[in-house]
Amino acid sequence: MAQPAPGDLSPVEAQLLRLADDEYVLAERYTEWQIFAPTPEADLALANIAQDEFGHARLWYDLLQDEFGYEEPDLLWERDPGNFVHSPLVELETPDGDWADTVVRSYLYDVAERLRLDALADSSFDPIADRVRKVQSEEGYHREHAQSWLDRLTGGGGDAHRRVQSAVDRLFPYALTLFAPTANEDEIVAAGVRTRALADVRADWLDEVVPYLESLDVVVPDPSAVSHPDEVGRDGSHTGDWAALHEEFTATYHELGFDDPATLRSENA
C-alpha cells in the first residue's frame, strides 16, 4: 500500500488523516513535558493528556488501516514528512520552560477539537460517528485543564500574564490554520463526512475563544488582519520545527529496522 498523500485521497481518508495527524503531533509535543512540568500534579495531568491524544491518534489511524488498507509504517514511520497534514499549530517547538505556550496552545486546540467533533458526531461514515463520543468525553477534561491554568496564570497579573499574552500573539495565527481546507473540503461536506463546513466551525471557534481570552485581559489579534503563516499544514506545507521533530521520532524506527512495528493490543486496548 502506498502512503497517503494530500490531494490524492477520498473525503473520508482526508478527514481521518487530519484528525489523526493533529492528535499525534500534539501528543509528541505534550510528552516533552513528562517529568519537566512545574509540579507533580501538573506533570501527571499533562502526561494523562498526552496519553489520551496518542490514544485518539491510534483510533483514527486504526480506522485508516482497517477501512483503507494502510499499514502503520505508511501512516507514521515511513510517511514522507511532507505528506503529514496536521496544522502547524501542533508542531511548533515550545520555547524553553514556556508553560504558558503549552497552556495557550492546548486551549486554542481543544476548543477547535470540540467543535470539530460536534460536526463529526452525525458523520455519514458510521465508524467516525461511533468513535466521536469516546474522544469527546476526554477532550472535555483537556479543555477544563487548559482553562483552569489560563485563569490562574492571568489572575495574578505580572510576568505570567505577559507570557500568556505573548503566547497568544505567537500562536493565534497558527491556530487559524486548524480551519484551513484540504483539497477535499467541498466533497467532505457534500458527502456528509463532516456535517458542517470548516468556515462555520471557524466562526464558532472565534465566537468562543475571543471573548474568553478578552475576559482575561488578553488582547486577541484581529483575525481578518492576520496574514496566515505560509505553512498551513493541510496541504503538506510545514514549518522547520516539523522536520526536526519528524526526524527525532522516526530515527530509532529506522535504526532498528524491525520487520513490523510491534502491536500490544491485548495489554493496551
Partner 1 sequence: MDIDDVKARAGPREFSPSDDLPLEYREAATRMLEFHANSEVMGGYLDKEFTRMAPSLDRKLACTAKCQDEIGHAQLLYRAAETLGVKTREEMLADLTNGDGKFLNCFHYPVDSWYEAPMIDFFVDGAAMRRQATLKDTSWEPYAHAMDKVCFEEGFHVKHGEDILRELMTSSKANQERTQEVFEDWWPRMLQFFGPTNDESTHNDFAQQVGLKTVSNDELRNSFLNMYMPKAEKYGLEIPESPRIFERDDGTMAVREDDLDWDEFWTIAKNDFEGSHEQIGSRRRRQEAVEWVRESMTDWETAGADSPQAAD
Q: What are the residues binding partner 1 (CB under 8 A)?
A: 27-28, 31, 34-45, 47-48, 50-51, 54-55, 57-58, 61, 72, 76-77, 96-97, 99, 145, 148-149, 151-153, 155-160, 163, 248-249, 251-253, 255-259, 261-265, 267-268
- Whose cell is 476548543? That residue is 111
Q: Tell me how far apart the alpha carbons of residues 60 and 13 are, in angstroms, rounded to a whole number.
A: 10
Q: Considering only the C-alpha atoms of the chain, give the largest distance between any 2 of them, rounded to a whole number of Å.
A: 54
- For residue 223, the tally of other CB atoms under 10 A from its CB is 15
Q: Tell me how far apart the alpha carbons of residues 166 and 153 are, in angstroms, rounded to a whole number.
A: 13
Q: Tell me how far apart the alpha carbons of residues 168 and 145 are, in angstroms, rounded to a whole number.
A: 17
Residue 57 phi/psi, 5-degree rounding, is: -55, -45
Q: Tell me how far apart the alpha carbons of residues 110 and 105 are, in angstroms, rounded to a whole number.
A: 8
Residue 77 phi/psi, 5-degree rounding, is: -80, -30
Q: Shortest distance, CB of residue 181 to partner 1, whole angstroms?
A: 27
Q: Tell me how far apart the alpha carbons of residues 204 and 226 are, in angstroms, rounded to a whole number.
A: 18
Helix (H), strand (E) at residue 116: helix 99-118
For helices 11-31 and 240-256, angle between their N-to-C axes, nearest 10 degrees: 90
Closest to partner 1 by CB, 50 or 85: 50
Closest to partner 1 by CB, 91 or 185: 91
- Closest residue by Cα to residue 101 from 160, 23, 155: 160
Closest to partner 1 by CB, 58 or 238: 58
Q: Shortest distance, CB of residue 268 to partner 1, whole angstroms?
A: 6
Q: Shortest distance, CB of residue 222 to partner 1, whole angstroms?
A: 28
Q: Shortest distance, CB of residue 64 to partner 1, whole angstroms?
A: 12
Q: Shortest distance, CB of residue 227 to partner 1, whole angstroms?
A: 31
Q: Shortest distance, CB of residue 92 to partner 1, whole angstroms?
A: 17
Q: Shortest distance, CB of residue 134 to partner 1, whole angstroms?
A: 15
Closest to partner 1 by CB, 50 or 168: 50
Closest to partner 1 by CB, 124 or 148: 148
Q: Tell me how far apart the alpha carbons of residues 171 and 122 are, in angstroms, rounded to a whole number.
A: 30
Q: Which three cell numbers stand for residue 77?
A: 514511520
Strands (E), the chain: none
Q: Shortest distance, CB of residue 201 to partner 1, whole angstroms?
A: 27
Closest to partner 1 by CB, 41 or 222: 41
Closest to partner 1 by CB, 43 or 118: 43
Closest to partner 1 by CB, 106 or 177: 106
